[in-house]
């Protein structure tokens, strides 16, 4: 059975794609079977996995419109060691096309059910909005991983996201939980970041992951080589942090109680 996680934050440039690609490679590196789903028409996670978005035969767009299955549409990231359901500009049209279709929120969920036995982890890279695409992601997932920078406005945006998760949990997907907040691009020398980090821990407790991802230029350089940072420079501080995060995720999933997520609060 696969565990399905959305990497979501409605702000752009907060590290969603970097988290998705490097967590995928980190998990693959410790023997997990991983599918990365790119739900952002920008296709950054696709390109960052070494898959050319311009030459995709099928993409997540075809899966949402049910003109292809995931086994038909997936491609392999050889360097990353995981499968990719890619995205490109075509996906921006899906938003409009889905509105007229039935089960529009559940298309991805249905497609993922068919490959449930093939993967240990499915990671969904969401676009920077709370759109129909993000909703498809949230309706498919067991949990949400929220990468965030420890800045003042980060906390403000978090309230909206937490409310969205609560609403999806109440109305569309009883499995959905906020799994955790991942502090990214962290620089402990900046006092404000340390303060916001402390506030996060005070407010969200163990919903804040132990692993902290530092600001590290090697992580930013890796996509231009079509490689996850974990593969591009395994010795870098950023790569090592993502490997540690992959281990933390495996431990969390192993420690989860199987039943009863529907009964509790999602956040
Ligand atoms: P999002 O998907 O939320 O828009 P990205 O993952 O694309 O965010 O990250 C935004 C930018 O920040 C990218 O240029 C990326 O390379 C850079 N970046 C992300 N995480 C780090 C990090 N830990 N250290 C340095 N640069 C980072
Ligand atoms: Mg992105």
Closest residue CA from atom 10 of ligand 1: 13
Q: What percent of the chain lies above the pLDDT cut of 90?
A: 84
pLDDT tens digits for range 149-175: 999 877 788 888 999 999 999 999 999
Distance 12 CA to ligand 2 centre (A): 7
Which sequence spans correspond to the domains of the chain? 3-255
Q: Which ligand is nearest to the CA of 12?
A: 1
Q: What percent of the chain lies above the pLDDT cut of 70?
A: 97
pLDDT tens digits for range 92-123: 999 889 888 888 999 999 999 999 999 999 99
User: Which ligand 1 atom is at minimum distance from the Cα of 184?
Assistant: 23
Alpha-carbon dihedral sign for residues 167, 173, 174, 176 = negative
Q: Reply yes or no on domain 3-255 having CATH 3.40.50.12500.
A: no
Q: Which ligand is nearest to the CA of 41?
A: 2
* DSSP code, position 43: -
Examine the pLDDT at 33 and tell me if it is beyond 70. Answer: yes
pLDDT recorded at residue 131 = 87
The pocket around ligand 1, CB under 6 angstroms, is made up of 12-18, 44, 128, 184-185, 213, 215-216, 219-220, 238
pLDDT recorded at residue 154 = 77
Closest residue CA from atom 13 of ligand 1: 220
- Enumerate residues 6+ apart whose C-beta is below 8 A from 267: 162, 165, 166, 177, 178, 207
Pocket test for ligand 1, best of 151, 193, 220 (most atoms within 8 A of CB): 220
Q: What would the two tokens of residue 186 be? A: 């962290």
User: Which ligand 1 atom is at minimum distance from the Cα of 186?
Assistant: 23
Closest residue CA from atom 9 of ligand 1: 15
Task: Report the C-alpha gap between 95 and 145 in whole angstroms.
Answer: 23
Distance 116 CA to ligand 2 centre (A): 25
């Amino acid at each position: 059975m696969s565990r399905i996680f959305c990497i979501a934050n409605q702000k752009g440039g907060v590290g969603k794609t970097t988290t998705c690609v490097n967590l995928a490679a980190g998990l693959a590196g410790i023997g997990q079977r991983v599918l990365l789903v790119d739900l952002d028409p920008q296709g950054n996670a696709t390109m960052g996995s070494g898959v050319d978005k311009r030459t995709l035969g099928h993409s997540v767009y075809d899966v949402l419109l049910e003109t292809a299955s995931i086994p038909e549409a997936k491609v392999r990231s050889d360097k990353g060691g995981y499968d990719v359901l890619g995205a490109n500009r075509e996906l921006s049209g899906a938003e409009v096309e889905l509105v007229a279709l039935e089960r529009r929120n559940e298309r991805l969920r249905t497609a993922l059910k068919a490959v449930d036995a093939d993967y240990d982890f499915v990671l969904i890279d969401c676009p920077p909005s709370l759109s129909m695409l993000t909703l498809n992601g949230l309706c498919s997932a067991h949990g949400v991983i929220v990468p965030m920078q420890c800045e003042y406005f980060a906390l403000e945006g978090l309230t909206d996201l937490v409310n969205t998760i609560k609403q999806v949990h109440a109305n569309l997907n009883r499995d959905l939980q906020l799994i955790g907040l991942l502090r990214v691009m962290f620089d402990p020398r900046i006092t404000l970041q340390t303060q916001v980090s402390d506030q996060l821990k005070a407010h969200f407790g163990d919903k804040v992951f132990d692993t902290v991802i530092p600001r590290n230029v090697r992580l930013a350089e890796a996509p231009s080589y079509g490689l996850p940072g974990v593969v591009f420079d395994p010795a870098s501080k950023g790569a090592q942090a993502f490997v540690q995060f992959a281990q933390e995720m495996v431990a969390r999933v192993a420690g989860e109680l199987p039943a009863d997520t529907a009964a509790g609060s999602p956040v």
